[in-house]
Amino acid sequence: MSTIASTSASGTPALQARSVRKSFVSGRLQSTVLHDLTLDVHTGELTLISGPSGCGKSTLLAILSGLQPADGGDVRALGHELSGMSTRALESFRLQHTGFVFQGFNLFPALTALEQVELPLSYMGLAKEVVRKRAVESLEEVGLGPRMRLLPAELSGGEKQRVAIARALAKEPELLFADEPTSALDAANGQIVIDILHRIARAHGTTVLCVSHDPRLVHHADRVLAMEDGRILSDHVPPAAAFPLQGESQPPTRSGY
């Protein structure tokens, strides 16, 4: 196990933010998006950040994942201070330890589902047979085994999002970030995606941080952070998470809470 993974498994929160601030400037106007925000995200949990459009939740996700720097405060991911990393180190960290799922799927039109999933694995220095094995297993896990040779144009919206999830899952990330993963989908496909994200956290012990205003996600989350105007208004455990279904393992105990 890597040093980073060992740090996360030791009981330290997978993600930590302390007094994080972020503002954007447009002309002479400065708009503060995050106000001295502090939170911990715990290992192996599905944490949902909910709130209206423009409340800062996607900006928070970008900062916690290292895609965007904060203006102030500290962010630690898997025990590493992100602000202390160079651009190259951050890119390496994201490649080796994180997966991303976005609203827009971000698939390449000319690549099959299998090739989409294999692509990031090829940059991780893995042997070809390992790349193929991981890609096939991940597509089968999201229910796309029979359709892995199809191009994006031959897939439905829900299937495209499942390819995107398989692409992230195949990397075996400690951290999985999902930004509005169901907003472009109908109810049935949205529910499938929610179930998959929930299962990834449970079965793989992956820390899943999801930004969404989809109310269906609430009952599948271990924890819900409600945001408004760049601040966290509430932090609670939904009833469905507090009392797991029969046969489902209890989420990891939180330290410090």
What's the whole-number mean pLDDT along residues 174-199? 92
Query: Considering the chain, what is the average pLDDT of its residues?
Result: 87
* CATH number of the domain within which 213 lies: 3.40.50.300
Tell me, what's the pLDDT at 219?
A: 82
User: Do the domain assignments include residue 6?
Assistant: no
Alpha-carbon gap, residue 118 to 114, rounded angstroms: 6
Q: Is the pLDDT of residue 257 over 70?
A: no
Give pLDDT tens digits for 74-90.
Answer: 999 999 999 889 999 99
- Is residue 137, in this structure, part of any structural domain at all? yes
Answer positive or negative: Cα dihedral of 129, 133, 190, 156. positive
In a domain, 105, yes or no: yes
Number of Cβ within 10 Å of residue 24's Cβ equals 11
Within-domain flag for 233: yes
Give the pLDDT score at 140: 97
Residue 72 lies in a domain: no
**250 burial type by CB count under 10 A (0-12 exposed, 13-18 middle, 19+ buried):** exposed
Whether 35 maps to a domain, the answer reads no
Amino acid sitting at position 98? T
**Mean pLDDT, residues 60-66 taken together:** 95
Could you report the per-residue pLDDT of 93-126, keeping only the tens digit for each?
Answer: 999 999 999 988 999 999 999 999 999 999 998 9
Residue 240, pLDDT score: 59
HSE of 9 in the Cβ direction (CA atoms, 13 Å)? 10
Range of the domain at 194: 42-66+84-242
Give me the percent of the chain exceeding a pLDDT of 90: 74
Answer yes or no: is pLDDT of 1 > 70. Answer: no
Q: Tell me the C-alpha distance between 96 and 228, whole Å.
A: 32
Q: Integer distance in angstroms from the first to the last C-alpha of the chain?
A: 27
Domain total of the chain: 1
- What pLDDT was estimated at residue 76? 95
Q: What is the pTM of this model?
A: 0.86
Mean pLDDT of the region 57-81: 94
Is residue 166 within 8 A of residue 115, CB to CB? The reply is no
Going by pLDDT thresholds of 50, 70 and 90, the confidence category of residue 214 is confident
Q: Report whether pLDDT(9) > 80.
A: no
171 domain-assigned: yes
**Is 74 a member of any domain?**
no
Task: Please list the residues that pair with 209 across neighbouring strands.
Answer: 47, 177
